[in-house]
Structure 1
Amino acid sequence: MSADYLLHESPVGYAIFKVTHQVDTVGNRLKEVQSAIQDLAKFGKMVQLVSFGPFQGAAQALENANEISEGMLSEYLRSLLEINLPKLGKKNKVVLGVADKNLAGSIKATFPGIECETADTSELVGDLLRGLRLHSAKLLKQLQDGDVERAQLGLGHAYSRAKVKFSVQKNDNHIIQAIATLDGLDKAINTFAMRVREWYGWHFPELIKIVSDNHTYAKVALFIGDKKRLTDEHLHELAAQVNDDEEMAQTVIDAAKVSMGQDISAADMDNVTTFAQRVANLTKYRKTLHNYLVSKMSVVAPNLACLIGEVVGARLIAHAGSLTNLCKYPASTIQILGAEKALFRALKTKGNTPKYGLIYHSSFIGRAGQRNKGRISRFLANKCSIASRIDNFSETPSTKFGEALRKQVEERIEFYASGKAPEKNETAMRKAMDAVLSDLNVVDPTAAESNEVADLAPRAIQKQEKKHKDKKSNSKKRSRDTADDTAAGEDLTNGEQQRKKKHKKKEK
């Protein structure tokens, strides 16, 4: 099927061309079309301009570009197609060549008499549309030289600027970068700290068993330096390096006096202390970065952070790509987010699928019993899905819903442990909504309606009671009337029976 008309979308407007020279799509005829596209004289005989609808400004061009990217048919384009294309029925259709596949579906849904062809379904349509893009500046005679190029540049900048435009406060890109940096720092600090332990351990091997924390070990190694200079006078200064633990500090001093480590030169000690200083600085920056992540999560995703923690919540956002992508995921996807390899391996080998992914690092999974870990992970993923959607679509950040969801998860854990019935979801969400509205000084319309219903309830009850009494009185009247009618009917039947008996006697 070859196209009868072509829709050309350009940054200056929409143009509708009619295909005047129908070409077969088989064999060398298609090659002729491809070669004729490069020549304006030949290609101008194949198409004819029907109508050109220019945009009124850059704002209208950007609006139509956004609608085309989403596969939507704008009102401007709809009116242009409605005016310039012939109106045929479902049996006799007009074939329109369109570049965008999603836009073609919208056109077909709006105009039943138009059949759309795209470059994916027809190679000829793709070649013709390519020729229109190549020669549009010459085919559209209303334009001057350079208009298309300037419009392309301006629309490209405006479209890109609109796509990357974000709120400074609610920007999750910094969260993604921060959690990635935090994970990288954790790996680097662990590797470097082990190197410091091994390097300084040649001089003071007993310190490894006394001080277990990597950051504390680096600070103690920096303070001690050469173990020979360490005396009892340094007790308070050393205790300040180990979180004011004088017992540990005294143990370090005693171990230094009887240490089995080898002596170390001044040059070697300088290198060890320099490297230990770098590890201590990295650890200090890691704490600063963690505080930044906590503050950023409290603005971007406060409910998700309150529910599952800042670090796990940031990992979920980073794995999904953005908070918007995360809120689009169903709870079943959030449950195994981060365990995709295990999931596909289980599906391939027909084994047991994983019960949790990144949410395994939440404290709720560790608190649950072994039997209930899968249940809690499923319930927690459900609440994470709700929290992410609230955070993404709410304009004012609040932790009320996150606190309510966290309380629900804790009640569910207690229910699995002791059997105590948890609070209903409707009640918990209603309380959270009332708390949010009270902070914003907004009256809940549903609560006002319920109060009005409560005020109208006594009147309604009185009306119902009155109707009930009227029904009873009417039913009593009907029963009396029916009783009178039946009695009268019985009297009539008795009289008729007596007359019949008399008539029979006379006949005898």
Structure 2
Amino acid sequence: MAKYVLFEGAPGYALFERISGGEQIDQQNFKLQGQFLDFKRFCKIVQLRAFCPFSSAENALENIIDLSEGMLTTTLKEFLELNVPKDGEAVLGVAEDKLAVSIRDDLNFKVERSQTVNELIRGIRYHFGTFLKQMSGESFQLENILIAQRGLAHAYSRSKVKFNINKADNMIIQSICLLDHLDKDVNTFSMRLRECYSRHFPELSRLVPDHLTYANCVHLLGPRSQIGPDTLPELSKLLESSEKAQQVLDAAKLSMGVDLSEIDLRSIEQFSKRVVRLAEHRFLIQKYLHSRMNEVAPNLSALIGEVVGARLINHAGSLTNLSKYPASTVQILGAEKALFRALKSRGNTPKYGHIFNSTFISKAKLKDKGRISRYLANKCSIASRLDAFGDFTTSVFGTFMKQQVEDRLHFYETGQAPKKNIDVMKEAIRHLQPSTTTQKRSPLPLSSPSPSHKKRKTLSSSDEPHEKKDSKKDSKKDRKKDSKKDSKKDSKKDPHKDKDTHEKKDKEHKTKKHKKT
């Protein structure tokens, strides 16, 4: 049972000692819970043993961030070593699981994590201000604790938002969702515009099948009676053919449509303007999505395309989540309903999800669609890991992997064996080496480099050693080949020598065995 309880608050660390007996405290023990509300009764159960305040707001923020990740800080370690007795019988109650594991591993303390400890910490949190006031005196004010809690909460949330690893791909997720909504809206509004204007000019819907050009034509032409030879040059520019523009003029003269009032025609023109603006806005968002994907996930966008890559990131939640998925999960992302339906009915599971929209699967034959989707999902998982955890932003690996997928499609059709993956990656690294010096993802300051980045070697700095290693390996291989050839020649010349050498080796082996026995 925990005799000491650790409490982490906004003012600092506090260590409480449990005084009263060993009965268990749980949520159903209402008598003890009633005692927790009264400070005089609660003092008979728990007493404040030691308190370590934070030196500044920055120090408090650093300690809270480390505690949220389950790390044991130096201040907490020194505080526990000073105040917790090392007799081996003292048990420390801790609220967090990760922190309890780190305390047990680093300090070799007996740590308890139970419902009794949670109830004690809940009572300590309720009376923490009065404990500090009793210890410090009348000069202490309870409002200072509330101010410290509020300031620490704002600073902690600000740091979490600032150092969010998913902030780079949040805009990709939002833009692909907005693009899907705009596609639906533009389609529904353009169909509604066709229905409204086809009462006045029904032949135009047959002559102009594209929605955006149809909306521009409605905005340009207006009422059917005003269509004449003056509108022919502008209409030919819009339709990109003079013959199609002449057909529209001829159809306007012999149209079977009904005349509309000026108010109806004006509302149709305004509606056509809105449709054109929505289509232009959709084009701008798509352009932004392409540029953002080339910055955040260049290998994935080069391999499978910007739109399909953005859909995969959106479905996974972030680029880091997508990089953690295996290739089998990436293959069926977006087809979860079909998967569970197949598992329930014991039918065939789906072969692809969002990957189906890529051009590789549409190029493949029906019998090869499953194999190429499996191969493409494997390459997508590699590309996402390179984009998420790579030191440099480059699309070289994505272009080479795209060529690998095309070669695999050619292999399924003709039977010609593609290159090995090792050879392709070596060639990609050779292409990458001249451009690594200008495409660093996040250059670190020279004054305080992080230890994790020290271990990583940039590709530009390791060009010469790789070449030397390759030359050494080639020379070793040539020596081995020459020695093998010489041994083969010697064995062909005098086979009796080989027999003598084998007999000598057998005798030596037998003598060694006898000595061991």
Normalising to structure 1: TM-score of the pair?
0.83
Query: Do the aligned partners of 1:196 and 1:276 also contact (CA within 8 Å) in 2?
Result: yes
Query: Do the aligned partners of 1:170 and 1:299 also contact (CA within 8 Å) in 2?
Result: no
**Take 1:17 and 1:364, find their aligned partners in 2: how far apart are those partners?**
65
Write out aligned runs for 1:3-14 (5 A): 3-14=2-13
Q: Is structure 2 residue 325 aligned with structure 1 residue 329? A: yes
Q: Which residue of 2 aligns with 1:440?
A: 436
Matching residue within 177, 202, 210 for 2:174: 177
Write out aligned runs for 1:225-240 (5 A): 225-240=222-237
Q: Which residue of 2 aligns with 1:37?
A: 36
Deviation at 1:459, TM superposition (A): 9.0
Q: CA RMSD in A?
A: 3.4
Deviation at 1:190, TM superposition (A): 0.2
Q: Which residue of 2 aligns with 1:472?
A: none
* Inter-CA distance 29–313: structure 2 relative to 1 (3 Å threshold): closer
Gaps of 5+ in 2: 438-459, 487-496, 501-517
Q: Is structure 2 residue 406 aligned with structure 1 residue 410? A: yes
Matching residue within 198, 201, 204 for 1:204: 201
Matching residue within 348, 352, 361 for 2:344: 348
Deviations 1:57-84 (A, max 9, x none): 3333323322322233334434443444
Is the partner of 1:37 in helix, strand or coil? helix
Write out aligned runs for 1:357-436 (5 A): 357-436=353-432
* Inter-CA distance 49–451: structure 2 relative to 1 (3 Å threshold): farther
* Inter-CA distance 431–151: structure 2 relative to 1 (3 Å threshold): farther
Write the letter of the residue equivalent to 1:51: A
Deviations 1:91-142 (A, max 9, x none): xx64432212332343344456514223xxx2x3222101111222232435
Write the letter of the residue equivalent to 1:261: G
Q: Which residue of 2 aligns with 1:259?
A: 255
Matching residue within 278, 291, 314 for 1:295: 291
Q: Is structure 2 residue 304 aligned with structure 1 residue 312? A: no
Is the partner of 2:349 in helix, strand or coil? coil
**Take 1:322 and 1:142, find their aligned partners in 2: how far apart are those partners?**
48
Q: Is structure 2 residue 152 aligned with structure 1 residue 134? A: no
Write out aligned runs for 1:429-508 (5 A): 429-441=425-437, 442=460, 443-444=462-463, 445-454=465-474
Query: Do the aligned partners of 2:36 and 2:42 also contact (CA within 8 Å) in 1?
Result: yes
**Take 1:168 and 1:28, find their aligned partners in 2: how far apart are those partners?**
38
Deviations 1:171-190 (A, max 9, x none): 21111111111111000000
Deviation at 1:291, TM superposition (A): 0.8
Q: Is structure 2 residue 155 aligned with structure 1 residue 151? A: no
**Take 1:214 and 1:329, find their aligned partners in 2: how far apart are those partners?**
39
Query: Do the aligned partners of 2:26 and 2:119 also contact (CA within 8 Å) in 1?
Result: no
Is the partner of 1:8 in helix, strand or coil? strand
Query: Do the aligned partners of 1:170 and 1:300 also contact (CA within 8 Å) in 2?
Result: no
Aligned length: 468
Deviation at 1:160, TM superposition (A): 1.1
Is the partner of 1:396 in helix, strand or coil? coil
Q: Which residue of 2 aligns with 1:65?
A: 64
**Take 1:265 and 1:222, find their aligned partners in 2: how far apart are those partners?**
16
Deviation at 1:456, TM superposition (A): 7.6
Deviation at 1:434, TM superposition (A): 2.6
Q: Which residue of 2 aligns with 1:489?
A: none
Write the letter of the residue equivalent to 2:298: P
Q: Which residue of 2 aligns with 1:192?
A: 189
Q: Which residue of 1 aligns with 2:515?
A: none
Is the partner of 2:201 in helix, strand or coil? coil
**Take 2:355 and 2:26, find their aligned partners in 1: how far apart are those partners?**
58
Gaps of 5+ in 1: 467-475, 480-508
* Inter-CA distance 173–237: structure 2 relative to 1 (3 Å threshold): same
Write out aligned runs for 1:276-295 (5 A): 276-295=272-291
* Inter-CA distance 12–453: structure 2 relative to 1 (3 Å threshold): farther
Q: Which residue of 1 aligns with 2:53?
A: 54
* Inter-CA distance 220–463: structure 2 relative to 1 (3 Å threshold): closer
* Inter-CA distance 149–430: structure 2 relative to 1 (3 Å threshold): farther
Is the partner of 1:440 in helix, strand or coil? helix
Normalising to structure 2: TM-score of the pair?
0.82
Is the partner of 2:16 in helix, strand or coil? strand
Percent of aligned pairs sharing the same letter: 47
Q: Which residue of 1 aligns with 2:100?
A: 104
Query: Do the aligned partners of 1:204 and 1:260 also contact (CA within 8 Å) in 2?
Result: yes
* Inter-CA distance 88–437: structure 2 relative to 1 (3 Å threshold): farther
**Take 1:319 and 1:407, find their aligned partners in 2: how far apart are those partners?**
26
Query: Do the aligned partners of 2:203 and 2:255 also contact (CA within 8 Å) in 1?
Result: yes
* Inter-CA distance 451–250: structure 2 relative to 1 (3 Å threshold): same
**Take 2:189 and 2:26, find their aligned partners in 1: how far apart are those partners?**
67
